Amino acid sequence: MPDGHACAAAGGECVPVLEIVNVTKRFGGFLAVNDVSLTVNRQQIAAVIGPNGAGKSTFFNLITGYLQPTAGHIRLNGHDITGVAPHKISSYGMGRSFQRTNIFPKLTVFDNIQAAFLVHRGRGGNFWSRADRFYRDETEALLRQIGLLDQADTVGGTLSYGNQKQLELGLALASDPTLLLLDEPTAGMSANETHDAIRLLERIAGERELTLLFTEHDMEVVFSIAQKIAVLHQGRKIAEGTPAEVRADPEVRRIYLGHH
Ligand SMILES: Nc1ncnc2c1ncn2[C@@H]1O[C@H](COP(=O)(O)OP(=O)(O)O)[C@@H](O)[C@H]1O
Ligand SMILES: [Mg+2]
């Protein structure tokens, strides 16, 4: 069992955090996600891969609540979150970042993260204090963790693309998630930026004991980090297993050779 290995590697028994059961999304007559099931266990790093158009972003949006499934169920820590609004799902411990960057481009890096803390934690009843007094230590600590402390005063929109994605990760972490979902976190990055982003994700997942589920179109990117990989093709899950199992799968090989 691939799951058993992954749980043992994470140092504990298998506790399901995210359970996706027979989920389908239909747009008119088109099945973008077709009867897909996937379980992600506590502190597991899991990836959904597939070529462009496979249904990854749709699948991601179903889990984060931005789209409603046509059929199927999604559970987070045992709670049914099928059809629940995104902000509510986020309050249950799910953080997320999107394929397109989602930062405040005119605010500094520091102000971006501080604003995210204010959104998620509020003012704690101190309505008359100035907003810039809140969460300064937390903001600094988080900037250090994501490797952006030296860019604290840089305006978000002027950061390099790779640094913008780091900042976006920081925004997601400010809600203190236990499960983090990332839609193509390395999309548009150079090979070096991709390498750094994957190492950063791996380190932060370890430090924060996160459960991680991310999508990726480039198969090679996920092999060094994911413990479990599901492969989508034309909306269907065609394979699931450890990186070695997925790499050896004849249908996966056929699809990826056909797209490169
Ligand atoms: N809102 C929508 N309405 C109709 N078709 C959509 C919609 N969103 C996505 N699709 C279609 O669903 C398929 C999967 O898209 P997507 O989930 O974005 O794939 P991926 O993220 O794997 O590239 C594509 O054919 C896309 O055109
Ligand atoms: Mg996508």
Q: Which ligand is nearest to the CA of 185?
A: 2
Range of the domain at 41: 1-93+178-260
Q: How far is the CA of 214 from the centre of ligand 2 (A)?
A: 11
Q: Does residue 171 sit in the same domain as residue 58?
A: no
Residue after which a domain boundary falls, among 176, 211, 234: 176
Residue after which a domain boundary falls, among 176, 207, 225: 176
Q: How far is the CA of 215 from the centre of ligand 2 (A)?
A: 8
Q: How far is the CA of 219 from the centre of ligand 1 (A)?
A: 19
Q: Does residue 113 sit in the same domain as residue 74?
A: no
**Is the CA virtual torsion 10, 17, 189, 233 positive or negative?**
positive
Q: Does residue 150 sit in the same domain as residue 55?
A: no
Would you say the pTM of this structure is higher than 0.85?
Answer: yes
Residue after which a domain boundary falls, among 117, 142, 176: 176
Q: Does residue 143 sit in the same domain as residue 189?
A: no
Q: How far is the CA of 132 from the centre of ligand 2 (A)?
A: 36
C-alpha span between 226 and 21 (Å, rounded) = 21
Name residue 162's amino acid.
G
Q: Does residue 185 sit in the same domain as residue 252?
A: yes
Q: Does residue 5 sit in the same domain as residue 67?
A: yes
Q: Does residue 118 sit in the same domain as residue 86?
A: no
Instruction: For the chain, report the end-to-end CA distance as a whole number of angstroms.
Output: 31
Structure tokens that stand for 168 in this block: 């976006």
C-alpha span between 163 and 212 (Å, rounded) = 20
Q: Does residue 88 sit in the same domain as residue 182?
A: yes
Q: In DSSP terms, which residues pair with 96 in a beta bridge?
A: 181
Q: How many domains does the chain have?
A: 2
pLDDT in tens, the chain (260 residues): 444 455 655 556 789 999 999 999 999 999 999 999 999 999 999 999 999 999 999 999 999 999 999 999 999 998 999 999 998 998 899 998 866 667 899 999 999 999 999 988 887 777 677 777 889 999 999 999 999 999 999 999 999 999 999 999 999 999 999 999 999 998 888 889 999 999 999 999 999 999 999 999 888 888 889 999 999 999 999 999 999 999 999 999 998 876 44
Residue with tokens 């101190």: 126
Q: Does residue 132 sit in the same domain as residue 192?
A: no
C-alpha span between 177 and 225 (Å, rounded) = 19
Neighbours of 123 (CB within 10 A): 13
Question: Which residues, judged by CB distance below 6 Å to any ligand atom, belong to the binding site of ligand 1?
Answer: 27, 30, 32, 50, 52-58
Q: Which ligand is nearest to the CA of 53?
A: 1
Nearest CA residue ID for atom 27, ligand 1: 53
Q: Does residue 195 sit in the same domain as residue 162?
A: no
C-alpha span between 103 and 201 (Å, rounded) = 18
Q: Does residue 16 sit in the same domain as residue 80?
A: yes
C-alpha span between 242 and 223 (Å, rounded) = 9
